[in-house]
Chains A and B, each alone.
Chain A
Amino acid sequence: MASLITCPHCGIRPKEEFSIRGDASPVRPAAAASDDAWYAYVFVRDNPKGRIIEHWHHSAGCRRWLVVERDNAASHEVYSVTDASVHAKGAAR
């Protein structure tokens, strides 16, 4: 795992400044969505081996939620770090 994360707001920072929430790919369903949709969002994970996106919180920095795209199979390479709101707008497009 890379020891440095390039925060889009703060620049290159040590990874210990961040807390990690987990898989960023599930999309929150509407409040009135079915039990099955909520079950899938809360509990089910694709858990792929390879290129993944993950929610990281810059808890000891700007306190923004970020989406870190990286490899989880072997290299642990970080491909991109995006502000979560920017990522969400991109995904909605």
Chain B
Amino acid sequence: MRYSALSIFRQALSGNRNWAPMWREPEPKPHYDVIIVGGGGHGLATAYYLAKEFGITNVAVLEKSYLGSGNVGRNTTIIRSNYLLEGNEPFYEFSMKLWEGLEQDFNYNAMVSQRGIVNLFHSDGQRDAYARRGNAMMMHGVAAELLDREQVHKMMPYLNYDHARFPILGGLLQKRGGTARHDAVAWGYGRGADSRGVDLIQNCEVTGIRRDEAGNVQGVETSRGFIGCNKLALATAGHTSVTGQMAGLELPIETHVLQAFVSEGIKPVIDNVITYGAGHFYISQSDKGGLVFGADIDYYSSYAQRGNLATVEHTIEEGVSLIPGLSRVRVLRAWGGVMDMSMDGSPIIDRTPIDNLYLNCGWCYGGFKATPASGFCFAHLIAKNEAHPVTRLLRLDRFKRGFAVDEGGKGPQPNLH
């Protein structure tokens, strides 16, 4: 069914009892052209673009739990393309352009809201760094504005401008940045893939990768039996090392937990997305009124989808130091997601040493904004066996060859990216 204002009106007249399920629940077939492991945002987007853009529809997405149960449902929903480096900026800008047409493209309300993102700076050196980043964006045709203190004050009067140690001197604004409704992104891609013939198979955990004598992948062992495939694609960020080791891959990844928080609903106050330059705090306000925020990872390796109370305290201290009024807001919920922290802070979309095994991983905690471009470029790679131009630097072998894409300049220590 195609969604429209008329369909909503019609269904309302019948008490909303006749909506069809958004996707089928098929039994797995014995063999597919392509199997995608991971029914999160990136896996579902990959399936969608494989079917829609590249005409490959004999595809299964295998998800160990329910669709969108991982990080696509656990993030702070920020979308942006304000990166510095050549390997990143064109990719994230491609993603931003896909976000801008996404809802019309997949006929689903993902609540994409281009409310603008401001990265605050608090020292002369930081202003220079943001000016450089804004210039790098403009060299790739992406608009950026360097705001001074008065301009930021006009937009956001509630910030702590005269903090003794970290006064706000200004910010870098990307007006096209903003937020989207994370669950709806997964559902929209899932529905679009399903309607084009992709089998979305839930509660189907991959437990092994079967390979022939030449080393090529024949299929996967799952909790619902063996399923064969011509090409296997891993989109299991957070657990990439677990699935990668089933095929003996050497990976530049450590898994860490990142927490996020939402407050009780309050009246509209934060119109944009704000990031705190003196800490790692970032915040926006959902359409329902809750303040959605987060900060650093917990720094220790973890596969558990929950974090430590000390990090909760640290996050909220950062928040209150930036926005004193937050001290009177109550936190409603907190949760954790597990991240592939890569050795340079940038993702990997590449082929692997195994001919018919494809890898999408290393998203650190920036994977949500990348969902559309990640899916599109991964589908391109799987369909054509060659990298999409905007992911040509996001290779698996870049560390060995000395071409890391280290946006933060922090070196090969995953918990610092």
Contact = CB atoms under 8 A, between A and B. Distances in A.
Interface of B: 239, 241-242, 245, 250-255, 298-304, 307-310, 343, 399-400, 412-415
B308 A3 contact: yes
Contacts of A48: 241
Contact of B300 (A49, A72, A74): A72
Contacts of A76: 302, 304, 308
B253 A22 contact: no
Contacts of A54: 300-301
Given A43-B252, A43-B399, A52 B308 contact: no
A interface SS class: mixed
Nearest to A71: B304
A47 B241 contact: yes
Contact of A43 (B239, B255, B310, B343): B343
A16 B130 CA distance: 30
Interface of A: 1, 3, 14-16, 19-23, 35, 39-40, 42-49, 52, 54, 72-74, 76
B308 A22 contact: no
B251 A22 contact: no
Contacts of A39: 399-400
Nearest to A1: B308
A78 B179 CA distance: 38
A28 to B, nearest CB: 13
B251 A40 contact: no
17 contacts: A1-B302, A1-B308, A3-B309, A15-B308, A19-B299, A20-B299, A20-B300, A22-B254, A22-B415, A39-B400, A42-B412, A43-B399, A45-B414, A46-B241, A47-B254, A74-B303, A76-B308
Given A19-B299, A22-B415, A43-B400, 11 more contacts: A3-B309, A14-B310, A15-B308, A20-B415, A39-B400, A42-B412, A45-B254, A49-B241, A72-B255, A74-B304, A76-B304
Contacts of A20: 299-300, 415
Interface-central residue, B241, B302, B310, by most chain A CB under 10 Å: B302
Contact of A3 (B310, B343, B413, B414): B310
B255 to A, nearest CB: 6
Given A1-B298, A1-B300, A15-B310, A45 B253 contact: yes
Nearest to B414: A22
Nearest to B416: A22
A3 B307 CA distance: 11
A51 B253 CA distance: 17
Given A22-B254, A23-B301, A43 B412 contact: yes
Nearest to B342: A43
Nearest to B245: A46
A58 B298 CA distance: 16
B158 to A, nearest CB: 29
Across chains A and B, which 3 residue pairs bring their CB atoms closest together, nearest first? A47-B241, A1-B308, A43-B399
Q: Please indicate which of the listed interface residues A19, A46, A49 has the most CB atoms of chain B within 10 Å of its own CB.
A: A49
B343 to A, nearest CB: 5
B310 A23 contact: no
A85 to B, nearest CB: 21
Contacts of B309: 3
Contact of B301 (A43, A52, A74): A52
Nearest to B305: A74
B69 to A, nearest CB: 17
Given A3-B308, A22-B413, A44 B251 contact: yes
A58 to B, nearest CB: 14
Given A1-B298, A43-B343, A23 B254 contact: yes
A19 B298 CA distance: 11
A40 B242 CA distance: 18
Nearest to A2: B308
A77 B239 CA distance: 20
A45 B310 CA distance: 27
B411 to A, nearest CB: 9
B304 A72 contact: yes
